[in-house]
Each structure stands twice: as structure tokens, then as C-alpha cells.
């Protein structure tokens, strides 16, 4: 008797600053079905690179042994600190000419030479520049050596790399599967990915990325501020904030609060200056977007990332902008997603956003508007996928 072969997508491999996450979906059914997921803590980025790489190898090998991942195709990503980014404006032109013009502009703007840097771009949309209509283009650049090192790491892990993605692109893609109606084509949404070392502000129109900014403020900075305010270690501050985020994510009236109001107030005061900086940057990005793209108003702002359940972020952003704010669950509507995020783990579900977006790359549940189809080709000297 022949056994039916299960179709599956690639393994989304999110190697973060503090942890590693792996996720894979089945391609059968009307919605993504979770095949396997794994998560483990990693040594800090400041540790010896060889020690960290060895920890990553052990974690991936253990995950592949202990969880039902299928195949070895994988999509990884570059974190925000691993690439440069600039927005430029160019005249409208065919795609082939645009790629050449972007490469020429990028060499000057980034101060790089041809051959040693990988350059990719996204056409964000048409804008008025004086009396002319031009294209707003988001340009990404990263050293080729870094891309090759990431490919080598994947090969060492016995994984077959399909693409090296950009983290904010994975964040946006994670939610594109919900934008299937005709009226969603021009809908503007904001995604705020608050991670360990930084925050990304991503604006999309339909299933196209239109604006991106990164801020060097994240969970490690919150922990440092709390540790200083309470005269405790960073590890103790991190554990305290995790308890507060768990309290904030619980929804039943009879849930017990584990941190006193006085301590929560001190923590809130400690992180307020950092949260206010994020809030100001979000407001400035929304103003720039409104002016650049002629007043299009976002429909919603979705908080994701490991710090999404930090109460001060939701309160500060929600009070500063007149846009509905929600905490996003990248696994919403997926079969068997409860296996990696039960009720007690709700505070950590938004942290799966990058792994989820990577694993959905090229899937039938994610469709771009047609102007910029995702590339599935991987070339040794040009592996960066946007």
C-alpha cells in the first residue's frame, strides 16, 4: 500500500539575538497547518562567535531529531543590524532598468563598491516630487561576506537554503494571508515589531511593503532600565518583566496578578523614556507616510515581537495615535498552533512572527499584488531575497 506523501513548506529559521525559533507548515488544507515548531535560548550575541555557532548547531540538530520537521529546505533572515537601508526616488522605468539604476545609486548612497555587496530593492509606490511623478524605492544593502557566512552556517546545519530574507519583510508577509478580499488591496496597515535589540516600523498597502524604519530600542534596553531603577541584575529584571507581560496577556477576570502594583509602577516609570521614543518615531513615520503617499490613513497598528505584551507600549502608542491598536498573533487561524502557544504562553505568541513569515515564503496562502512577485531563485553570489 502506497503512503500518501504530505506536502510541506520550508523550515522558517529565525536566529534571533537571544533565541532560535524553527517553524514549518503543511501545504495541505484551506489554512496553514503546523507540522513542527522548536524554540531554544541562545548565548548572547556578545559571546564568542564560535561558542554561539556551536550552540545554534546543537539546537537545530536537537530540533530536527525531536520534532517532526520534514525535508531540509529552509529560509533564514538577516536581522535589522545586519543590513543597511535607505529610501530613494527614481523616475518610473522598466524593472530591468530600475535594478540597474538602484545599483548605481546604492554604490554612492551606501559608499560601497560593486561586487562586495548584495543590493536588493522594493518599489514602495508612486510619489510626487516637485512637479514630477517618481517611484519611492526602499534599497537594502549587506556585505556579501555576511550572506555567504549565513549560507555556510545553514549548510553546516544540513539545511538547504532557499533564500536569505529581510526580517521586516518576513514580519509583513506573516499577515498578508489575511488580506485576500478585493477591498484589502489598498488598505494600509502598520506593524510594530519590538524585539530584543531593536524595533521595526513596517507600513504596508495591501500585500506590498511601502515604508520601513528601524530603531535601536528593544527588550535588552528595557531590562537595563528596570535593573538600574530597582538595583537588581539584568537577569532579574528580565524575569520580572516576563512576569508582567504574562500578567498583561491574561484575559480572564479571575487570573491572579503576580507582580504588585508598586513594582509595576516602578517598571513603567523606568521604561517610559524608551517607550516614548518608539511612540514618537511611530508618529513621525505616520506623518511622513501621509505626506508621501497623499494622505492614505492606516486601518490598524499591530504589535508583534517578543516585547509585544509590554503594557507600556500598548498604552503609549494607543494614546498617541488615532488608529486601532492590537497585539498580533501570527499563528491565528492555524491548525494545531496551540501546540506552541497555550493559554499560559500567550505572552510569547507574537514572538513567532519572523519564523512564521519565513516559513510562509513562496506559499500559496501569501499572494503579492502582482507588481513585485517574490523571487524563489537562490544564486551563490546573490542569495539575498526580498
Stretch 345-369: mean pLDDT: 82
| Residue 68 domain flag | no
In a domain, 126, yes or no: no
* Residue 221 contacts residue 17 (beta carbons within 8 Å): no
Query: Could you read off the pLDDT of 18-67 as tens digits, one per residue?
Result: 889 999 998 777 778 889 999 998 887 766 778 888 899 999 999 999 99
Cβ count near 367 (within 10 Å): 15
Question: pLDDT tens across 94-108, in order?
Answer: 888 998 999 888 888
Q: Is 254 a member of any domain? A: yes
Would the pTM of this model clear 0.85, i.e. be above it? yes
Residue 371 reports pLDDT greater than 60: no
Q: Does 241 map to a domain?
A: yes
Kindly state the average pLDDT of the residues 184-211: 91
- The pLDDT value recorded for residue 271 is 96
Determine which of 102-116, 157-171, 272-286, 306-320 has the lowest per-residue pLDDT on average: 102-116
Res 380 pLDDT > 60: no
pLDDT band at 129 (very low <50, low <70, confident <90, very high): confident
Q: Is residue 297 part of a domain?
A: yes
Give the contacts of 302 (CB within 8 A, at least 6 positions apart). 175, 189, 190, 191, 192, 325, 326, 327, 328
The pLDDT of 164-191, averaged and rounded, is: 87
Q: Which residues contact 239 (CB under 8 A, 6 or more apart)?
A: none
Number of domains in the chain: 1
* pLDDT at position 350 over 80: yes
Q: Is the separation of the CB atoms in 117 and 144 below 8 Å?
A: yes
User: Domain of 194?
Assistant: 182-328
Residue 379: pLDDT above 70? no
Residue 192, pLDDT score: 96
Res 251: pLDDT: 56
**Alpha-carbon span 59 to 61, nearest angstrom:** 6
Residue 266 belongs to a domain:
yes
**CA–CA separation, 188 vs 323, rounded Å?**
11
CA–CA separation, 269 and 267 (whole Å): 5
The C-alpha cell of 306 is what? 517578543
Span 71-76, average pLDDT = 95
> What is the chain's percent helix, strand, coil content, to nearest 5?
40, 25, 35
Strand 208-215: give its sheet, edge to edge: 208-215, 199-205, 188-194, 298-304, 325-327
* pLDDT on residue 385: 60
CATH code of the domain covering residue 258: 3.30.420.40
Tell me what the mean pLDDT of segment 291-307 comes to: 87
| Under 8 Å between Cβ of 212 and 125 | no
- pLDDT at 329 exceeding the cut of 50: yes
Confidence of residue 347 (pLDDT cuts 50, 70, 90): low
Statement: residue 205 has pLDDT above 80: yes
Q: What are the Cα distances from residue 237, in Å, to 116, 231, 266?
A: 41, 9, 12
pLDDT over 50 at 280, yes or no: yes
For 101, 195, 300, the CA distances from 169, given in Å and listed in that order, are 22, 15, 18
- Pairing assessment for the beta strands 84-91 and 199-205 based on DSSP bridges: unpaired
Q: What is the DSSP string of 17-81?
A: SSEEEEEEEES-SSS-EEEEEEEEE---TTS-HHHHHHHHHHHHHHHHHHS---SSEEEEEE-GG
Query: How much is the pLDDT for 52?
Result: 86
CA distances from 211 to 233, 260, 289 (A): 37, 40, 7
Mean pLDDT score, 148-176 = 93
Q: pLDDT-derived band of residue 357, with 50, 70 and 90 as boundaries?
A: very high
Q: Has residue 256 been placed in a domain?
A: yes
Of 263, 253, 245, nearest to 311 by C-alpha is 245
Q: Mean pLDDT across the chain, nearest whole number? A: 85
Residue 235 in domain: yes
Is 60 exceeded by the pLDDT of residue 177? Answer: yes
Between CA 106 and CA 338 the distance in angstroms is: 44
Amino acid at each position: 500500500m502506497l503512503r500518501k506523501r504530505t506536502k510541506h513548506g520550508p523550515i522558517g529559521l529565525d536566529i534571533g539575538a537571544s533565541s532560535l525559533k524553527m517553524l514549518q507548515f503543511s501545504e495541505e488544507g484551506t489554512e496553514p497547518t503546523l507540522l513542527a515548531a522548536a524554540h531554544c535560548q541562545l548565548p548572547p550575541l556578545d559571546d564568542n562567535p564560535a561558542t554561539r555557532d556551536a550552540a545554534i548547531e546543537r539546537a537545530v540538530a536537537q530540533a530536527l531529531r525531536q520534532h517532526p520537521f520534514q525535508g531540509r529546505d529552509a529560509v533564514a533572515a538577516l536581522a535589522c543590524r545586519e543590513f543597511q537601508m535607505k529610501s530613494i526616488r527614481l523616475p518610473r522605468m522598466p524593472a530591468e532598468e530600475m535594478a540597474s539604476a538602484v545599483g548605481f545609486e546604492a554604490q554612492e548612497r551606501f559608499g560601497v563598491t560593486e561586487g562586495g555587496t548584495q543590493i536588493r530593492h522594493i518599489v514602495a509606490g508612486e510619489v510626487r516630487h516637485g512637479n514630477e511623478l517618481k517611484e519611492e524605492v526602499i534599497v537594502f544593502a549587506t556585505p556579501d561576506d555576511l550572506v555567504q557566512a549565513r549560507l555556510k552556517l545553514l549548510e553546516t546545519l544540513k539545511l538547504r537554503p532557499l533564500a536569505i530574507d529581510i526580517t521586516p519583510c518576513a514580519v509583513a508577509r506573516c499577515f498578508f494571508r489575511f488580506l485576500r478580499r478585493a477591498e484589502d488591496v489598498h488598505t494600509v496597515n502598520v506593524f510594530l515589531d519590538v524585539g530584543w535589540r531593536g524595533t521595526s516600523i513596517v507600513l504596508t498597502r495591501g500585500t506590498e511593503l511601502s515604508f520601513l524604519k528601524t530603531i535601536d530600542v528593544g527588550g535588552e534596553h528595557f531590562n537595563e532600565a528596570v535593573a538600574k531603577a530597582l538595583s537588581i541584575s539584568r537577569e532579574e529584571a528580565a524575569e520580572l518583566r516576563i512576569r508582567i507581560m504574562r500578567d498583561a496577556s491574561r484575559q480572564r477576570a479571575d487570573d491572579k496578578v503576580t507582580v504588585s502594583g508598586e513594582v509595576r509602577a516602578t517598571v513603567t516609570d523606568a521604561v517610559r523614556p524608551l517607550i516614548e521614543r518608539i511612540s514618537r518615531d511611530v508618529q513621525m513615520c505616520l506623518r511622513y507616510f501621509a505626506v508621501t503617499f497623499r494622505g492614505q490613513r492606516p486601518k490598524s497598528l499591530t504589535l508583534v515581537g517578543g516585547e509585544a505584551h509590554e503594557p507600556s507600549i500598548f498604552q503609549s502608542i494607543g494614546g498617541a495615535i488615532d488608529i486601532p491598536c492590537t497585539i498580533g498573533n501570527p499563528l491565528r487561524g492555524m491548525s494545531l498552533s496551540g501546540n506552541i502557544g497555550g493559554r499560559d504562553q500567550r505572552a510569547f505568541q507574537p514572538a513567532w512572527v519572523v519564523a512564521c513569515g519565513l516559513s510562509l515564503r513562496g506559499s500559496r496562502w501569501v499572494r503579492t499584488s502582482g507588481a513585485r512577485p517574490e523571487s524563489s531563485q537562490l544564486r551563490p553570489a546573490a542569495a539575498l531575497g526580498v
